[in-house]
Chains A and B, each alone.
Chain A
Amino acid sequence: MKVLLFGRLRDLAGWRESEVTPAPATLAELRRVIGERWPELAEALAGPGVQAAVNRALVRGDAPLSASAEVAFMPPMSGG
């Protein structure tokens, strides 16, 4: 499963893209696995305004994940 990070999440982790195997079955499980593997991300991923996109669609709450899913975690958006 491909995981992408942006903004301060990418800075905190030191990577933008990583493979997570075995692939967790849900978004909540993926968050838990990432928090264990990269403890510096655990708190930040749970932070206010952090959104997830599964296969380039924003997801609220939990969601089932396929093994080939692409999951992005995005801190609060700030353009303009």
Chain B
Amino acid sequence: MITLTEQAFDAGAALGAFSSGRTESGAVASFLGLARGEAGRRVALELEAWPEFSGPEIEKIAQEAARRFHLHDVEVIHRLGQIAPGEPIVLVMTAAAHRREAFEACDFLMDYLKSRAPLWKKEHGPTGARWVEPTARDLADAERWDG
């Protein structure tokens, strides 16, 4: 399930709900990304999406993760709009029979979200704002899974 939301979300509650009632998944892994304050240089992050396109594209990424890592289930929650330092931006959760697949699927999902999901990130500082583009490291991280 993919959720794009302007509202702050409770990562603990989401993980609890995702884990509950599983009798065949031996492993649930998760990654929670938080907005960094950069020692006062960043007042807020702003995440822009094209909901009619971004949702389905992220769903494709999640389905690819499920196929590659034999997941029993996968869920992505991504914030949109203004996000204050310390607030969760993204939560990915994976359920699999064993831990390795669950861990690796989280890694894959985050690498793809960083540079291949239709989302755009703007950094608001004390003196102005700038659009953030994926770094060479972000691009290389996603390419690890190609081919």
A78 with B115: in contact, given A7-B131, A11-B131, A49-B133 (CB under 8 Å)? yes
Beyond A74-B120, A77-B134, A78-B119, 15 additional pairs, beta carbon < 8 A? A7-B120, A7-B122, A8-B131, A74-B50, A76-B133, A77-B119, A78-B114, A78-B131, A78-B134, A79-B78, A79-B118, A79-B121, A80-B33, A80-B90, A80-B113
B138: chain A residues within 8 A (beta carbon): 78
The CA-CA distance from A8 to B116 in the complex, in Å, is 17
**Any B CB within 8 A of the CB of A4:** yes
Contact of A79 with B47 in the complex, beta carbons under 8 Å = yes
How far in angstroms is the closest Cβ of chain A from B24?
29
B 104-127 contacts with A by CB, 8 A: 110, 113-122
The CA-CA distance from A10 to B120 in the complex, in Å, is 11
**Any A CB within 8 A of the CB of B65:** no
B 21-49 contacts with A by CB, 8 A: 33, 47-48
Contact of A77 with B50 in the complex, beta carbons under 8 Å = no
**Any B CB within 8 A of the CB of A56:** yes
Contact of A7 with B48 in the complex, beta carbons under 8 Å = yes
A74: chain B residues within 8 A (beta carbon): 50, 118, 120
The CA-CA distance from A75 to B132 in the complex, in Å, is 10
A78 with B89: in contact, given A6-B48, A56-B52 (CB under 8 Å)? no
Residues of A within 8 A of B (CB): 4, 6-8, 10-11, 49, 53, 56, 72, 74-80
A6 with B50: in contact, given A49-B133, A75-B131, A76-B134 (CB under 8 Å)? yes
Contact of B120 with A75 in the complex, beta carbons under 8 Å = yes
Residues of B within 8 A of A (CB): 33, 47-48, 50, 52-53, 56, 78, 89-90, 110, 113-122, 131-134, 138
CB closest residue in chain A, given B138: A78
CB contact between A80 and one of B53, B56, B89, B118 (< 8 Å): that residue: B89
Q: Which one of B56, B120, B134, B138 has the greatest number of beta carbons of chain A within 10 Å?
A: B120
A-B contact pairs, 23 of them (CB 8 A): A6-B48, A6-B120, A7-B122, A56-B52, A72-B50, A72-B53, A75-B120, A75-B131, A75-B133, A76-B115, A76-B133, A77-B116, A77-B120, A77-B134, A78-B119, A78-B120, A78-B121, A78-B132, A78-B134, A79-B90, A80-B110, A80-B113, A80-B117
